[in-house]
Amino acid sequence: MIKRLPCLVFLSINLLLAACGDDDATPPADATGAPAQKGKATLVEKAATLLQKTVANPTAGSNEDPEKECRILAYCEKRCVGECINEERSRAAYFKAKEQKIAGSPFEVKILHSYVDGSCARGDDPGKRKSSSGIRAIVEGTMTYTGEDMLYAAKLDGEMYLRFGADRFAEAHVKEVSYGGYYGRSKPVSRFEREIRGADPWVKGESRNFHWESRSLSEAFCEVMPDEAKAFVELATWGINKGRNDYPIVFEALHWEEVIGMALRQQINVLKKQKKETVEEPADALYSQLGKVLVTRLTGKTEWLKRSSTAQAGDIAKGPSAAFPVNASSDKWKVEVSGISHAKEFGGYAHKGEDQFLAIVDISVAFLGEEEGSLKGFATRMETSPGKWQKPVTKALGQIDTSESIASGSSVSGKLVFPRQRFERPFRLEVKVPDKNTFYLDVFDYKMGPERAPK
């Protein structure tokens, strides 16, 4: 573990430094006037001792020279700041060293879910938006103990971190308890479903389910795309023979694209209760956003589910954007989407909101039936976030004309314009053709949002 004592002392001794002069960083001398030698109390220890004396008896005078005490504190303050900066620069090495120790831990881990959850602040006017809960990481799975000792207590630790460049990190520590209710009662957040305790110790070969959750990072991080995002899960254990030990358990990659939407294109499992047992049913995952995932089940039904009601079949992988053109057809009609783009204005229409954007779909509709077809009854809408559908903007000129008739074998082409906010990536386009058939076309594109992200 990285030494954090100097930083902690630094926070406390600031109060004492207020009474001291603006001394330089010269190391304080000992009683003989010479610089402090090895074997004597360190500066941090002296500062800590001085702090304890002050807290225990703030009105009593000190046995040492006040000017000397101020030199100790001033030098220690500057040294502590330097050590904190060096610690920040060494975070990459710290996490790398922890990750290398996972292979030596006496635990086997199976991950059931790993994802980011929370919400981003929404609204057309950023100045009027209310703060959201921010973004946190969630990891759930099963740990199997393979060691020889008997564990009588265990505590989940760790943090979610985002890396920007080589050495800049944003971190959110594990969330341990939450408070609420009229009496402010607390409940454990990161926990084992079956608590490890003296009356129920953890022994070799036994598996226990766990839920790990980080605190939230500011919703400002909805705007960005880090170079790396991971959840680091660590476990502190207390054993009968070996006492206290800390084990790095999991370094799980997080997909920050899931904050505003990510394509999946892979198989996952849906958890179902059957006769008091949980069974896994395979399903095709199409998209995910924060705590939800869109799946197509074996029955053919497509629906958004909570991530907690699914299980990963291996690692979740980022899928590609839609491969245009995308088309669907019935006996009489064929619909093709050749692309999607975004803009602030189209056809003389611009939304009054500062954070409102337009999604522009290039579409063509062909009539495959005999004689002549009519587009009467043709309708579209776009899913811009889980379960949220938007109809086309009627005030934007230059869109496809659905009042036309189409000769057999002919087609009509044009554009459709839909509103969306900065934290939304459109997932799919619903098209209803005149013969009552409904198509769902993939229009997902990573180029859409968030437009204000810093480069």
Same domain, 224 and 372: no
What pLDDT is recorded for position 25?
A: 42
Q: Which two tokens stand for residue 115?
A: 């994802």
Residue 452: which of 229, 117, 126, 227 has the closest Cα?
A: 126
Other C-beta atoms closer than 10 Å to the C-beta of 206 total 15
Report the SS3 class of residue 120: coil
Same domain, 32 and 64: yes
What pLDDT is recorded for position 172?
A: 94
Read off the CATH number of the domain in which 288 is found.
2.30.30
Q: Is the peptide bond before 325 cis (omega within 30 degrees of 0)?
A: yes
Residue 319 forms part of a structural domain: no
Residue 244 forms part of a structural domain: yes
What pLDDT is recorded for position 153?
A: 95
Residue 453 forms part of a structural domain: no
Sheet holding 191-192, edge to edge: 107-119, 134-145, 207-213, 191-192
The total domain count for the chain is 4
Task: Please calculate the CA angle 162-168-173 and round it to the nearest 5 degrees.
Answer: 45
CB 369 within 8 A of CB 331: yes
What pLDDT is recorded for position 48?
A: 55
Whole-angstrom distance, CA of residue 180 vs CA of residue 323: 47
What are the b/e assignments for 1-31, b being 16+ CB within 10 Å?
eeeeebeebbeebeebbeebeebeeeebeee
What pLDDT is recorded for position 18?
A: 39
What pLDDT is recorded for position 21?
A: 44
Residue 377 forms part of a structural domain: yes
Same domain, 249 and 112: yes
What pLDDT is recorded for position 15?
A: 39
The residues, any chain, with a CB within 8 Å of residue 117's CB and separated by 6 or more, are: 135, 136, 137, 138, 290, 291, 307
> Does the CA dihedral 9-11-15-17 come out positive or negative?
positive
Q: What tens digit of pLDDT does each residue of 72-109 get?
A: 666 666 666 555 555 555 888 899 999 999 999 999 99
Same domain, 167 and 71: no
Whole-angstrom distance, CA of residue 384 vs CA of residue 381: 10
Q: Which two tokens stand for residue 318?
A: 């980022």
Same domain, 233 and 108: yes
CB 144 within 8 A of CB 203: no
Same domain, 192 and 277: no
Residue 344 forms part of a structural domain: yes
What pLDDT is recorded for position 278?
A: 79
End residue of a domain, out of 32, 56, 89? 89
**221 lies in which domain range?**
95-259
Same domain, 137 and 225: yes
Strand partners, 321: none
Residue 450 forms part of a structural domain: no
**What amino acid occupies position 336?**
E
- With 0.85 as the threshold, say if the pTM is over it: no
Q: Is the peptide bond before 419 cis (omega within 30 degrees of 0)?
A: no
Residue 449 forms part of a structural domain: no
Same domain, 290 and 361: no
Residue 201 forms part of a structural domain: yes
Same domain, 370 and 348: yes
End residue of a domain, out of 89, 106, 127? 89
Whole-angstrom distance, CA of residue 225 vs CA of residue 447: 12
Same domain, 103 and 220: yes
Residue 250: which of 234, 229, 239 has the closest Cα?
A: 234
Same domain, 437 and 382: yes
Residue 7: which of 56, 48, 50, 58 has the closest Cα?
A: 48
Same domain, 24 and 139: no
Spans of the chain, pLDDT less than 70: 1-89, 179-184, 452-455
Decide: residue 198, CB within 10 A, 0-12 exposed, 13-18 middle, 19+ buried: exposed
Residue 130 CA, chain-centre distance (Å), reads: 20
